[in-house]
A = this chain, B = another copy of it.
Amino acid sequence: MIPIIAIDLRNPKPIYEQIKDKIKQLIIFGALKPDEKLPSVRELAQTTSINPNTIQKAYKDLESDGFIYTVSGRGNFVAPSPKKADSKRLEELYATLRATVGELSYLGVPEKNITEVVQNTISNSRPQGGNKV
Contacts and interface: CB of A to CB of B under 8 A. Distances in A.
A76 B85 CA distance: 29
A82 B107 contact: yes
Given A96-B96, A97-B117, A24 B103 contact: yes
Given A21-B99, A24-B103, A122 B111 contact: yes
A1 interface: no
> How many chain copies?
4
Contacts of A89: 107
Contacts of A100: 93, 96-97, 100
A121 B101 contact: yes
Interface string A1-33: 000000001101010000001001101110000
A102 B24 CA distance: 10
Looking at A93, A106, A121, which has the most chain B CB atoms within 10 Å of its CB? A106
22 contacts: A14-B72, A24-B99, A25-B102, A28-B102, A28-B103, A29-B102, A90-B109, A93-B100, A93-B103, A93-B107, A94-B104, A94-B117, A96-B100, A97-B97, A97-B104, A97-B117, A97-B121, A105-B121, A105-B122, A107-B128, A114-B122, A115-B119
